[in-house]
Structure 1
């Protein structure tokens, strides 16, 4: 009974007053209302540990942040080409010494506008006017690689685009494959309701685009097949990116190599984040 009374006295004396003791990271106080225990960390000059979650927009910033705050416990996790996310836990666990893992920084390999434009239009069938408009809007991404001299340049694709756009009333009849790998379409242009001039339009078999899949990442040369169909005299055109998944995989591997080099000895693991 005496011990219980002393305990109540000690408890009443501690109400509303800071309680400090060995092993406490910060002082505590017993609040009279509902006898709740509240920590007083917010009244200290600084927090007892970092609690921060940051998302970076480029790999360089991710590396710089990790290098600034790294500790012997820091670890980086990445979830491969499909997830394309890197996450560093600055205060991660050590063997037989668990930690809070409250300080993290991540980088999710955000896609560029240019990559989204081409990927979202991949294999999308368009009439000649829509296709011409798309090529004109994105002609700056078209490149002519040294290893394929037959590939059209940006100027060639722009000229094809403008030719298609200018010819409003055309009946396409047939296509002939040329020795240089291009397809030559024969068309008949109608003028004021009368039979107009006939001509030929050369369309390349394939072309290339040079773009960065990820913001702040490396640029890649991507092959695109040029496809068309003639339906009831009307020309339907589209393009097919060749192995875009492989391009993203290579882009991810390039980012992973850059981060691994940048963070030095900080361990990196492939894992589900």
Structure 2
């Protein structure tokens, strides 16, 4: 063993380790006129981004970011006009029937469609949203839609919402009909319905006496001896006359809170169960009315902001 060869002691090894990991340098970094102090660590240490550190020394943010939520459509239009640029875009999503989502979004820093260079793609980090709130009237009518209601519940509901029942349009006396009146006329003809107004509807809800008459008729063919039986049930009014109950009326309600009102046909049915009478109403194709109201609002945004509106979600 060579005794002249110096041996490393534990203290020497500790000194080397301290020097290796404590050796560092302080520097200043210049970036677009921004000065930020930084520390250069020795080999073996993790390299981290200085972006957050540099941003702390900026006099203002590098770019606009954030999502704002508007409470009405006019405010959404105003903030879109405030921050829009030539490449901003609006996206409208109607998923009321599935996800229950009715939303319109402005993406202020959307990609510029005029450049083919991907290096000019934008971050899409600055947005404004508006979620369309359904009106209380819309939710009330849909809350009872297609439900069987007894006489008292039916009367109570109508008393609370009778002002939303519209008078029957004078379809037969007008030379020109609106699109809704044409649709209503076709519905009446196809269903052979009787249209009623708010006063007639209230009379039905407050009380209707029905007499049920059941008949059994038998017929026999003399040649063959075959016999057939026919069983029928007929509803009559309290005096025994033919019962004529209107089966169609129209409501005039807003789809969205603060939005315009729309006419919706409502079909009316009744069912006699023993001494009890039950009622049911069904809103006719209300999903079409909702989509129409949604697209009208989106087209208003297109007109007021002069931005493209896309029906769908952005990437």
Whether these two folds match at TM > 0.5 is yes
Aligned to 1:212: 254
Contact 1:172 1:230 in 2 (8 A): no
Q: Does 1:85 align with 2:85?
A: no
Aligned to 2:29: 19
| 1:1-273 equivalences in 2 (<5 Å) | 12-14=25-27, 19-22=29-32, 27=36, 29-30=38-39, 36=48, 37=50, 38-80=52-94, 82=96, 83-94=101-112, 95=115, 96=117, 97-147=120-170, 151-161=195-205, 163-164=206-207, 172-173=211-212, 186-187=237-238, 203-264=245-306, 266-273=307-314
| Distance across 1 between alignment mates of 2:23 and 2:268 | 84
Structure 2 vs 1, CA of residues 252 and 91 (structure 1 numbering), >3 Å: closer, same or farther?
same
| Distance across 2 between alignment mates of 1:10 and 1:20 | 23
TM-score (norm 2): 0.65
Q: How far apart are residue 199 of structure 1 and its match?
A: 9.7
CA displacement 1:128-177 (0-9 Å, x = unmatched)? 1111111112112111142358743334333433x23xx8xx67536xxx
CA displacement 1:44-92 (0-9 Å, x = unmatched)? 3322222221222332221111111111221111235755421110011
CA RMSD of aligned residues (A): 3.4
Contact 1:185 1:201 in 2 (8 A): yes
Which of these two proteins has the greater Rg computed from alpha carbons?
Answer: 2
| Distance across 1 between alignment mates of 2:137 and 2:79 | 27
| Distance across 1 between alignment mates of 2:34 and 2:106 | 25
| Distance across 1 between alignment mates of 2:22 and 2:30 | 17
| Structure 1, unaligned runs of 5 or more | 1-7, 175-183, 189-197
Matched residues, number: 238
Q: How far apart are residue 185 of structure 1 and its match?
A: 5.3
Structure 2 vs 1, CA of residues 25 and 63 (structure 1 numbering), >3 Å: closer, same or farther?
farther
Structure 2 vs 1, CA of residues 30 and 245 (structure 1 numbering), >3 Å: closer, same or farther?
farther
Contact 2:271 2:279 in 1 (8 A): yes
Of stretches 48-57 and 145-154 in structure 1, the one that deviates more from structure 2 is: 145-154
Contact 2:271 2:277 in 1 (8 A): yes
TM-score (norm 1): 0.74
Secondary structure, in 3 states, of the residue corresponding to 2:25? helix
Contact 1:91 1:99 in 2 (8 A): yes
Structure 2 vs 1, CA of residues 124 and 42 (structure 1 numbering), >3 Å: closer, same or farther?
farther
